A and B are shown apart, each in its own frame.
Chain A
Amino acid sequence: MKKTTTIFREGDHAWTVVARDPARPDYLIDTNEYLVTHGGRGLLTDPGGCEIFAAVFAALSNENDPGCIEAIFASHQDPDIISSLALWLEFKPQLKCHVSWLWSEFVPHFGGDDQTLVAIPDEGTVIPLGGLTLEAVPAHYLHSSGNFHLYDAKARILFCGDVGSALLPPGAGLFVTDFNSHIRNAEGFHRRWMGSNEAKRDWCERASRMDIDLLCPQHGAIYQGADVMRFINWFDELKVGVGVGKARPQPVAWKQAA
């Protein structure tokens, strides 16, 4: 089962990460889901694909009441991000799903309808959660053409979707402890999946102005403290959109078929 870890708590305001599933099959990419709670109300970021719904749901049930989740934030439209939406709606039909307006007619192919989806405009928006204000921060073309990150100014946490992601070996820790060795696992991913140097520069400028203690990607490990700015500087220098053949080793099943 996936493991839950509380990475921030101040009174009834908390961030909990659901990560590292030892039972995950090799052919599925590992994902991190983050539950933001404030005043007993919850928002879940990138809840993942339907194949991992049971693992995420069970892990959350172990520590929290999943019934508190009133909204889902989908950084973009990929299946590993939001294809479990229909199952979350089975559990709680009144859930709202915040996603870029660009995908508001695509995501319902995974589930939900016009009552479920809340379209985020290109310039971003604020998302209220039980007295807390979260910000949907534009991160277009990183890697999806309609892409958002989620910033919690009070907790100083930026959920950064695929930016900062790394494809780590089994048993890797939840936090980055050695930036230089960690970033080698992130380089190919960023070169291939991030499509625009201009968008990347725009994001780096925006992120460098934010007060961030924890930079929380959807895959891999969390950056904390000085590693946050180290990552922003590293990403700013990286030439992206040029990573064909360098992203990751091919999945085992493809290798066997070849």
Chain B
Amino acid sequence: MNHKAQNNVGEPLQKVVHANGSIRAVIDMSRRVNLVAINAALAAKKAGAQARGFGVVSAELRHFSNWLDQQMAELDQLIAALVVSLAEAAKERRSQNHLLDAQARSADPQHLESTTHRLEQRLVEADEANRQRWRALTERIGQVLRRCNTGTALVRSAKVEAVYGGAFAAGLRQVAEEIEATIGTIQQTLKQLSHDVAEAQS
């Protein structure tokens, strides 16, 4: 049988690889937030008493980006486990295709019935385990997305505090805007990821 004529058993793998790419992109961005937040704290220190409020907010932003890093590491582990189990399932499904083909061509298909049944059972169990893994991934992405609103709120406060930065106001505002843009991109990427993961399950 030609591999191209079969059901595309590699499709779930393609989807999970795509999702994995998005998670890696968010990891990179969350590291950038952390770096910019450090710069923000340093800028606030330089600005002195005038930027005390900005300093407090930038410290919170660092906590937020550390938390985001941690969440992304956990998402990464979830997706790594999913890649392994989907690759295993692809292997089983390919074996099943071969067996079903042999059964269809056999003069006495009953010979292979118990074998195909056993494999089918294994696939049902693997599919259920994978569904649970996809669900866990969806829930975790949802949680991270909701917490990202905290990041947005913190950035808004940072922009307000920047106004009181006196001579440093413009610089502080620039740092806050940089963090705002990165968090915005993280949110967009996570929303797309959430959409991709939902689609992969359907």
Contact = CB atoms under 8 A, between A and B. Distances in A.
A89 interface: yes
Contacts of A61: 16-17, 20, 80, 83
Nearest to A112: B3
A91 interface: yes
Interface residues of B, number: 22
Given A57-B13, A61-B17, A89 B3 contact: yes
Contacts of A62: 80
Contact of A90 (B10, B21, B83, B84): B10
B84 A54 contact: yes
B173 to A, nearest CB: 36
Given A87-B94, A92-B10, A66 B17 contact: yes
Interface string B1-38: 01110101110011011001100000000000000000
A132 interface: no
A203 to B, nearest CB: 34
Interface of A: 1, 50, 53-55, 57-58, 61-62, 65-67, 86-87, 89-93, 111-113
B interface: dominant SS: helix
Contacts of A112: 3
A89 B97 CA distance: 15
B84 A86 contact: no
Nearest to B4: A93
B2 A90 contact: no
B122 interface: no
B200 to A, nearest CB: 15
A89 B90 CA distance: 11
B93 to A, nearest CB: 9
B120 interface: no
Interface in B55-109: 80, 83-85, 87-88, 90-91, 94
Nearest to B13: A91
Given A54-B91, A67-B14, A93 B83 contact: no
Nearest to B2: A113
B17 A87 contact: no
Given A53-B90, A87-B10, 15 more contacts: A53-B87, A54-B88, A58-B80, A61-B17, A65-B21, A67-B14, A86-B3, A87-B91, A87-B94, A89-B10, A90-B9, A93-B4, A93-B10, A111-B3, A112-B3
A18 to B, nearest CB: 13
B85 to A, nearest CB: 8
A91 B15 CA distance: 10
Nearest to A90: B10
15 contacts: A54-B84, A54-B85, A54-B91, A61-B20, A86-B3, A87-B91, A90-B3, A90-B6, A90-B9, A90-B94, A91-B10, A93-B3, A93-B4, A113-B2, A113-B3
A253 to B, nearest CB: 21
A90 B13 contact: yes
Given A89-B3, A90-B13, A92-B10, A50 B84 contact: no
A58 B84 contact: yes
Contacts of A65: 17, 21
Contacts of B87: 53-54, 57-58, 87
Contacts of A57: 13, 83-84, 87
B79 to A, nearest CB: 8
